[in-house]
Amino acid sequence: MKTKLIGMEISNPIIIAPGPWTRGRDRLERALGLGAGALFTETIVSESYPDLKPRYDYSSVNCGVENIRLYSGADLETWIDDLNYINDKDRFGSDTRVIASIMGSSPSEAVYIARKIVKTGVDGIELGVACPMGEGPEIVAGDPAKVYEYARAVVEAVDIPVSVKISAATGNLPAVVKACIKAGASGISGIDTIRCILSIDTETGRPGLPTYGGYSGAPIRPIGLSAIAGIAQTTSLPIAGMGGIQTVEHAIEYIMAGAGAAGIGSEILIKGYDVVSECVAGIDDWFKKHDITDIEQIRGATLRYLKSFEEIKDENKHAEVKESCMDSECAKCIMCCLEDAISMDGRVLVDKSKCSGCGLCVRMCPEHKLELVW
C-alpha cells in the first residue's frame, strides 16, 4: 500500500518516528530491516548531548513516557559517518526511505547541518522547530514568522524534500502550517513531544525527573489526532502523523485524520523493534480485510464529520438501554450520570424525562448496552 511522504513515494504508510532507536549504525541497520516505509533519524544537532541518568519516566497506568533526552547523543561528524556507512552498504537491501531529522539554534545553523547531511545520500530532511525539554514555554514552532525563516532557509539550501515538524504547543496551527507552505516545504510531520512533569512523589515532593520533559506515548494520541486533522484541513501537503501509536488501529486513526503515513516511536522504547514489523504486516491485513486498494480511499475520511461548534445541531437525543443489564456491581452508568436519570431496579433503567443526552453513560458502559436515540 504505497503512499506519499514529503514529496516522495514510500512502500507503505508505517514509518519510524525520530528517537534514540534510530541512532547509531546497529540501530539504523535494525530499523531498516523492519519493513517500514521510512525511518526518521534521531534529531541531529551540531554538538552531541549527554545521555542523562536517569532520562526516562514511565507511567504503567496510561503508558505515558517522559524523557529528558534532548537531542542526539552523537555528534554531527559521527552522524555523517553512520549515514554514509548505511548507504555504502546499500541500506542492507532495504527499500525503507531514510529521512534525517535535524534541528538548529538558528536558521544558519540548521542550514549548516542540512548541507552536511545531504551529502550522505539521505532521501529527505525533517526540520524540527520545537523541543520542550531544553527550552522555555515559548518555542520557535509557535511563531509562524520564525517557522517560515527556518524552513525557507533550509528549503533553499538543499535539493531534497524538506518536511517541518509541527508542535501541538502552537497557538495558531493554521498560520504555522501556512508559513511552512510559503517557505516551500514538501511535507508536514507532527506532533513533537509535549512539555510535562509526568510524576511527583507526594511523600518527598520530588518529580520523577529533575526537569521539564517531553511527554510521549499513548496519552498524547488524542492531541496528535487533533493536530493532524487541523493540519489536513489547512494543506494538501503530505502529512506524517506521530504521537501515541501502539497498534495498527491507531495508525489507521491517523490516516483517517488526514495523514499519509503514521510514525511509531515511544512504543519501540517500551516494547522493542518488533512492534514496527507487526504493524507493517497488520496494516496490510487491515487494508485487505476492508477491501482498500488505495490509501486515498480512507485518508482524511474523518474530516467530513468534523464541524465547527456552531454547526452542531442540538438534537433531541436521550440514552436508552439497547440490551438488558442486571449487573448491579458495575453501576458505571449510574455513577457518571449527573442528572440522576439512570437507576437500578433489578436491571438498569433510564428516565428519559431526566436524561440530557450527554452520552457519557454510553461511553462508560463496558458492555456497550446503552445507546443514544431520538
- 322-359 CB burial, b ≥16 within 10 A, e <16: eeebeeeebebbbeebeeebbeeeeebebeeeebebbe
In 40-77, which positions are buried (b, 16+ CB within 10 angstroms) versus exposed (e)? bbbbbbbebbeebeebbbbbeeebbbbbbbbbbbbebe
- Tell me the pairing of strands 14-16 and 261-264: parallel
CA 79 to chain centroid: 24
Residues annotated catalytic, as ranges: 131
Cell of 47: 554538538
CB contact at 8 A, 13 and 1: yes
C-alpha cell at 351: 428516565
Alpha helices in 41-103 (DSSP H): 76-88
Q: How many residues does this entry show for the chain?
A: 374
Give the number of other Cβ atoms within 10 Å of residue 7's Cβ. Answer: 16
- Distance, CA of 137 to CA of 114 (rounded, Å): 26
Which helix (H) or strand (E) covers residue 174, if one does?
Answer: helix 173-183
DSSP 307: -
Q: What is the dihedral of CA 270, 272, 274, 279, to 10 degrees?
A: 30
| DSSP structural state of residue 28 | H
DSSP secondary structure string for all residues of 101-162:
EE--SSHHHHHHHHHHHHTTT-SEEEEE---TTTS-S--GGG-HHHHHHHHHHHHHH-SS-E
